[in-house]
Structure 1
Amino acid sequence: MKLESIAIQEFKQFNGRLFIGDLEPGLNLFTGPNEAGKSTIAEAVRTVFLERYKASHLKDLLPWGKASGQPSVEVSFNLDGVACTLAKQFVTRQRCDLRIGQQVFGEDEAEDRLAALLGFSRATRGAMKADQAGVPGLLWVQQGEIHDVRDASGHAALYLRDALTQLSGSTGSGGEDVLIGAVQRELRQLLTARTQRATGPLAEAEQALAALAVERDTLEGQRRQFDENLTRLATQQEAFEDAQRKRPWEAHEQKAVQAQARAAALAELERNVQGLAQTLQVHEAELTLALQQEQNAADQEATLADERQQLERAKAAVLAVEAEYGQASERVTRCQQTNDAATRALELANAAMMAQDLHSQIAMYRAEIDRLEASIAAAEAAQAAVLEATRTAASLEIDAAQLQQLQALESRTSVLKARKEAAMTRIDYRLSGGAIVVGGETLTGEGVLRLDAEQTIELPGLGELRIVPGVSDLAALRTELSDAEAQQAELLRALGVASLGDAQARQEQWKAQLAQLQSQQKILAVHAPKGIEPLRNDLASAMARRQTADQRLAALPDVTGAPAVDDARRAADDARQALDSATRSLAVAGEHRSNAQAMSGSLAEQVQRKEAQLQDAAFRERRAQWQAKIVEQRAHVAALTKQRDERNQELGAARTDDPVAEAKRYRVSADLARTEQQERQVRIAELRSQLETMGASGLGERLATVSASLEQMERRKNELSARAGALSLLDKVLVEERDAAVAQLRAPLTERLGHYLKRIFPQSALELGDDLSPVALQREGRIDTLDALSFGTREQMGILTRLAYADLLKAAGRPTLLMLDDAAVHTDGTRRDALKRALLDAATRHQILLFTCHPELWDDLGVKQRAIDDLRAAA
């Protein structure tokens, strides 16, 4: 099989058409950086041959950013000298056409024919799975999977074995495989292939057995729960009835009432003690007054005796104190003048201090007024800015969903215009002296015509040309473009803009206004967190306080030259003390003079007056009343004191316990006891309901039924297990016999593997498994499993073994094509050179498509490199 050309249209990253022709029969090298499209080309080849053209999962083949594309792949190839063509279109307007020579196949017939030719199983539904890929899955290696050859060769084992059978001329293994397949099919109905776990009827029996065991255990648990609930119900019922008989909450409530009564009595006793204390204070005050009045009368009698003696001495001292009195009077006059001056100075100093305080308050109020006025102005400006930004944002607001829809329509119309432009018929004309007529318009010189519909070109003197565009869906494109433009215009009118750019600019302006609105709101919140009106109230209050301070300052006297307050206070204190001293001296001198002058007359008169006062009947009657009241009040005070002490003792004894706290404690205890009894009653009702439910469900009968079913299912499971064991033994015997025959068929494959392995691993051999897949490498006296090899070595083994499989398949007449995507990435230079020689050797027998992103590593193959970017540019 030799690919001759590949045509890819609207496939993943290829929005347009990509054509690859003139493919060599041997090695073809494709190069390009990552994401250039190498893997996409390989995937297109795999898809056109292997995937069902009507598969619904292939929507991911649509070109990127183009939801309405029509992915298609067409390949031409040569099969044993017969020219073949395969074309498939996916997702929309699906089709499949296969031409082999003169034979034409379509749809499902074509795909069945491909599966038979290439050696794979056609997927009945969904995507092609790895175990269905067969020979293409082995030889067409995707990126990053070159090292994994075991599973791929296992999936192609049937085709490889058929090829070996053809080469060896043997026909015996086919019947054995049929018998083994029949036995294994029967066995797989009971046990899985790899893990030997139960499946089918055996798994169902085990699952049913386990389910019945679980159900039995559940029913036994329910029965135990039933017995436990009976015991709990009896216990709860007994506790409930005992509490109903004892009713502990009532005892607690009675104790709470008693404690509350004691608390009330204690409060009444406290009020009684307070009343006694107040009454005792009144009587003690009355007793003190009476004693003081009696003491005054006694003092008057003693004073009268003294005054009689003083009368004689005063008469003798009259002359001596006259001079003393005169000196004292002069001193008082001088001190009074000094005191008056000091008092005026102190008043002036106090006024100066008050004026200073008022000046400070006024300055503080003025600063507060300035601050509030500035805040109000800034807040009013911010509030105006907020209102303006709100109005502007409301006028600029645009529907985001409609804007997004408009953007989608803009993109869609651009794509449709490009598609229409590409689909229109292009005519380049260059006229030498003549003219043509197109649609009634005369054209001369040179230019370009683009026709999207049927058009007639008149050639004067020659006739006319009728141009019919060859693209069948151009009318549909025009209709689709017209509909899209109409929708776009409708959206522009709905948004009130002229273009998408205007709408986007308006949206940006709206977002800017929103940001401005938020900024001004923050400024307003900084200056007036509670609003502007509270600031105005604060301003009015500050202005009123300042006015009051100004009025108080204006009422103060002129404080110019006022002394310091401390100095004025000390001077005033000194002047007052001096005046007091002089006044006392004057009083003493005056008294001496009065006594001296009136000793003989006034003192005698005073003595006579006091004697008359003491002997006055009213005074004597009042004094008798005082004395009687003293006796009476002393008796009252003694009685009240004794009564107060007794009440205090009672109060102390009553306060030993806190009746209020006890009343609260007993009430809480009563509530808890009553709540516990209610909860116990609820639990009893729940237990009875559960027991009635479980009793009504026939728990015992269900348990007996499940136990019987469990015994029956266990017998069924044992029977199926015995059958599975017998089938396993038969399968083992048949496989051993079959493997002995297959061992004879491995010689051709072993020979080809040795042909390639010796290039990298001299004196080595590859062990094959039952499915002809490599399992271990023998070299230098040791055996390494594939998993034990390094990633790079497994990668090299993957390339060499696929070359050997291709040789085997080609020798058996099978079509071969190798595709290697980014092969030998983890291979050193020495082994890469050996791989190159192996690839060049295999290229003499097979067509190989090699894709790489490292062209510098493969530039010595003597093969032309095809750059993906150049292929795309040429398209």
Structure 2
Amino acid sequence: MSLRIRRVALTNFRKFRDPFVLDGLTDGLNVIIEPNETGKSTLLEAMRAAFFIRHNTANRLARSYAPHGEAVAPQIEIGFEAKGEEWQVTKRFLKSPSVEVRGPIGRAQGEDAEAQLQGLLGARRDTSQAGDIAAHGALGLLWVGQAQALEVTAPGEIVRDSVRATLEAEVGTIMGGAAYQRVRPRIDSQFAEYWTNSGRPTGRQTTAREEHDAAQRAAADAVTRLAALEQAFSDLEAGRAKLRLLDRDLADTTDAERRQVLVGQLEVARSAAQLLDTRRAEQGRLADRVTALDDLGSRLADARAAVADTATALTKARDRRLTLAEELGSARDRAASARELLAVAREQRRAAHMALDEGRALAAAQDRRAEIIRARQRHAELLILEAKFDAARALGRTELPAKVVKSLEERERAVDKAHAALDAGATRIEFAGELDRVTIDGMVAAPGDRTLFRETRIRLGQAELIIRPPAGLQGAEMALANARDDLAAALAEHGVASLADARTRNEAARDAVANVRTLEARIAGVTPVVASLGIEAGASALKLFIAALNEDAEGAGSGEGTDVVALTAVAARADSAVAKAEGVSEAAAEQLRETEARHGPLMVEEAGAERDAANATTQLAAMTEKPETAGLDKALADARQREAAALVNLQDAERAATAYDLAAIERQIAVLDKRVEVARTQRIDLEKVIAGLEARIDAEGGKGLGDRAAVALEAADAAAAALARVTQEADTLKLLRDTLEGARVETSRTFVGPVARRARRHIERLLPDADPSFGDDLGLTSIVRAGLGENCGDLSKGTQEQLAVLTRLAFADMLLEQGVPVSLILDDPLVYSDDTRLDLMTEILSEAATRMQVILLTCRDRAFRHLGNRITLTANP
């Protein structure tokens, strides 16, 4: 039952960033031939991901599906046929991962879809980081990536189990016949009561273990409850003792008396602190008054000095500005004269450059006419080379394929072989002496040897000698005639007179192919890029240019030349004159800007000096008008005297306040209050604990916890004994089952003959008279030829690769018999095969394609282009 891929659609999968669709796959052989780096291996990896990699995995392999540097969700959609029914799987990875399988029974999503795929394809869950091909079942063996077939490997466990069922069916019952069939099911049924198929405890073992654990928990609980009751009695006595100590501490009056003394001290300390604050405020107010009067005197002196200083600064600023005003007028005159000279120079430069542009245009037209003449010459040479190229390419197509030459060689060898067989069975006679009276079939005999192929009559005078060659010689003669006819027909079919003529024609064709490459290079040489004419590289561009060329428009032109060099010199002198005029103008402008820059600050400085002088005069007048200014010295002396008296009063208040530490008294009162509060809280908590213990003792005391603990311990011991008995029974059954299975496997190893027979059918076509040998794991281990064995690892890489493909075909045929969905996908196969073996392997693959779908992914166009259904990747949208 072949698995047939019908359609593959990819989005954001590695190099396929844009949506990509591959369809057109047929039931038989499909060949995808594309260059390297076009996505062939990526296509195979995408099919593996869709069928075998879980959608919600985020391992290293799944992360590699996203295009490099992009945070997107790779998505794959595959339409296929399995078990003769249409299916479709859609899978999305990384971002919002999902999977959906559509089949004849409807849709499935999530874990149900993954399970349905595994059951349909005969695979198991792949939990590896990089992808486990063995977990992919038959398709893991038959979907071969790049370089995976360069050595012969054994099939995975899933494939071995499927193949082993076929082998056992072919060789019959392996162990004990009907007796084994009766015993093994009974052992398996009893084994299932104790163990799962994977060897984990279940059934009776699990029940016994659960009963044992429950009994142990019940015993532990009973012992714990008994210990808790005994501990409750002890805790009750300890709680009552603590309660008596707390009651005695609370009844003591020492702390209350100490607190009354501290409260009295606290009132006195607060009164002293209040007086201290009043004295500090009074002393601060007087100090501020003294500071304000001092500040007023200082500011009055500063205002008088500022009036004198600003008047002097104003006089100096006015003198400096008047001196610079004359220099500024001269600079403006020089700048205007320089601008006029620059305008004249620029006009002269414009006229010179216009003359130069006209001269260059005339020179370019002359150069274009010269380039056109050269283009016509190259065009004529191109036509001659293309004629030679077409002739050489036509001659190169006459080369006969290697298969045809090989066929002619085989037919010629068949003629030589038939001729040799005829010569070996013919009768040879020799004539000597006088032969005048001797005739052969009525003709006079000649001296020398003669070979007889049919009945011959020799006349010797009156006597006649009849020679009859062996009867089988006629068949040899007919075989020779047939061989010659076959050779003649093959030669006539391919239009050659002889094998030598065919070889001569192939040599000429190969020389023509080489000459084609030489002519291509010459054609490329005569068709370069001509930027001045707008001609691109290539023969087509040159032909188009010549075809579109207007003969009249490209005349000979004027014979008079234009002195571009002289015009360039004139333009250069004009550029130099402009540069000099620009330099003079820029210097004059710079000098003007510099003078204006110096004049501007002087104007600002003069205006600022005028403003400062006016402000200083106004400020002095305002301060003189204040009433405090008249008696400033007397008021300052009086304020300093009152400040000294207030400072004395402040010192007296500070000494009174330091007699008591207000903060220390408050901390002592807080400690006494906290001690009483904690004691009362502890008393309430103890009363609560004592009440709880009394209630617990009342509740548990009459339940007989001691008797219950003893009964629970006895039940735990009985459950432990039952668990040991069940465990021993389970181990015994497991040992018996494993022993039977080991014996069955050991015996089944001798039944790899069916595998060898199927593989030999293919391998003998590649290696005649070779006998393959398989190991216990059904892997090909060696090849026996002419009585000598060779390990597969010692064979050449090409032979190992060919054997790897052939053994996979053998297993594929066996899996088809089991009804397992199979298909064969080979990525860049047979890279080390010579031409003869490559032809044979492609023939074998073509035959296999009649039984299953085969997909070849390759970059070798010449080797595979004649095979099957050709599909391209680049042509798909």
TM-score range, shorter chain: 0.3 to 0.5
TM-score (norm 1): 0.39
Which has the larger Rg?
1
